[in-house]
Structures are given as C-alpha cells and as structure tokens.
Amino acid sequence: MKTSECKNCNCLYFSANAFARKVEKLASETWKKVGLAPSHATLLGVVLAEPGLQAGQIAAQMQLTPSTITRLLEKLEEKKLVIRNTDGKMTNVYPTQKAKDLKPLMKQCMDEFNEKYTKILGKEESKHFIQNMNIMADKLGS
C-alpha cells in the first residue's frame, strides 16, 4: 500500500518513522557483509575517524543519549572492535586493530549503501533531500 493511501497516517510522525524504517532496512542489508547493525557501523565509523573520543562527545555527535552510547559500546566491545579507557569520570573510546583492519570493508559498505539509494532515489534528489532533512532536524532542536 502506498503511503499516500493511508488517510489516517498523513502526518509528520508517521511519515518520518515509516521512512526511517525503510532506510534502516536497506542499511541493515548492506552492513550485514561486515556483521554489523547500521547503528553499530555508524558508531564504529565515528570512533575510527576520531580515536579517543569521549563517550559523551560521541553521543552529541550521533545525537543519541549517553545511555544508548553505553549500550552500543558494550556490544562493540564484546566484538573486540573498540576498547573503553576510563580515566577519572571520563571514558575515551579507541578502535582495536581488528576494527582498523575492517576499515576498507566498511568504506565499501558505505559506498555500496550510497550507491543503492542514489540509484533508487536519484543522485541530486537524494542529496537535496538529505540536506533538507538535516536542516529540518536542526530546526526541531534537541
């Protein structure tokens, strides 16, 4: 059923969530190749890009709550992809060698994912749409 046919659901809440679920699904398929859920892959990408980042800074960057970051880090630590280094009240997060080795494959997944959705949604269209969505998200505040 087309979204437009859902008379009772024609509001921002429904549309945003339905859209996010579909994107999540596409992303899940893509990152199965490295055995990571999209959220885990995103977090690992952040840690790989800035080793030693504080947990709270990661939360701010990913716009998730600190508790969610803790939970995600637990999983990544179980998989030996990151280590948490607690110093006083701060916790710094570092990628392991295993994670560093995974970097090229992760980039490949990201490229593949970008390719998939630009193919489906159009290159310029999706670019503008994402920009617009980011602007909208910023307007909605934290």
CA pair distance 57, 94, nearest whole angstrom: 13
| Cβ atoms 61, 46 nearer than 8 A | yes
Q: Are 33 and 39 in contact (CB under 8 A)?
A: no
Kindly write down the DSSP assignment for every residue of 29-94, as one continuous string: HHHGGGT--HHHHHHHHHHHHSTTEEHHHHHHHHT--HHHHHHHHHHHHHTTSEEEEEETTEEEEE
Contact call for residue 16 and a second copy (CB under 8 A): yes
The answer to the question of residue 138 lying near a second copy (CB under 8 A) is: yes
How many residues are there in the chain? Answer: 142
What binding mask, one character per residue, do residues 92-131 give for a second copy by CB under 8 A, x or -?
A: ------------------x--xx--x--xx----x--xx-
Q: Which is nearer to a second copy, 34 or 46 (CB)?
A: 46
Q: Does 85 bind DNA (CB under 7 A)?
A: no
Among 37, 46, 83, 110, binds DNA (CB under 7 A): 37
The binder of DNA chosen from 48, 72, 82, 102 (CB under 7 A):
72
- Which residues are near a second copy by CB under 8 A? 1-24, 26-27, 38-39, 42, 45-46, 49-50, 60-64, 110, 113-114, 117, 120-121, 126, 129-130, 132-134, 136-142
